[in-house]
Amino acid sequence: MAKEFLGIVLFLVLSICLSCSALAASPPKKPPNWAELQAEKQQILAPLAERWNAMSPQRKSMWLGIAEKYPAMPAEEQGKVQQRMARWVKLSQEDRRTVREGYKDIQKLPPEKKQDLRQQWDEYKKLPEEERRKLGSSTSKPKPAAAPATPLPPAAGPAK
């Protein structure tokens, strides 16, 4: 579960970064409901279909920003986006809240702390898959309501 949170936090960080330019460039207007989305955007955002109409306008705008940039992403990045969207919608509302809080906590850190975490994350990514699995299974997994886990920050560059 900690690995999923980590992946989702990384995805959120990138998502927000990618969508900021889209949000800043467009005038404020109500995002479309699912039926009003273009077929291409529906295909890209398919994992979110069931929850789309219940999302806040801000969340819809964020996802639309990702969908705008999606066609230009390398195939590997597109695959990561799809996997992370699918994992995101499977999380409970409480788990999604915990991930968002972890992201906010990371954003409050001073730049040097963020850099330290980024370096730790880069080192973790270099480990063989088997060793990462061992680390993931050996870490304690606190219950989100009791003590939200603080995930690592994203690696430099786009991470889908």
Give the model confidence (pLDDT) of 11-35 as tens digits: 655 566 555 555 555 556 788 999 9
For the record, the structure tokens of 1 come out as 């579960």
Q: List the domain range (segments joined by +) for residue 97.
A: 2-138
| Domain count within the chain | 1
| Contacts for 103 with CB less than 8 Å, ≥ 6 apart | 9, 12, 13, 16, 151
Identify whether 30 is part of a domain: yes
Identify whether 150 is part of a domain: no
| Separation of first and last alpha carbons in the chain | 18
Identify whether 160 is part of a domain: no
| Percent of the chain's residues with pLDDT above 70 | 68
What's the whole-model pTM score?
0.58
Confidence of residue 153 (pLDDT cuts 50, 70, 90): very low
Identify whether 50 is part of a domain: yes
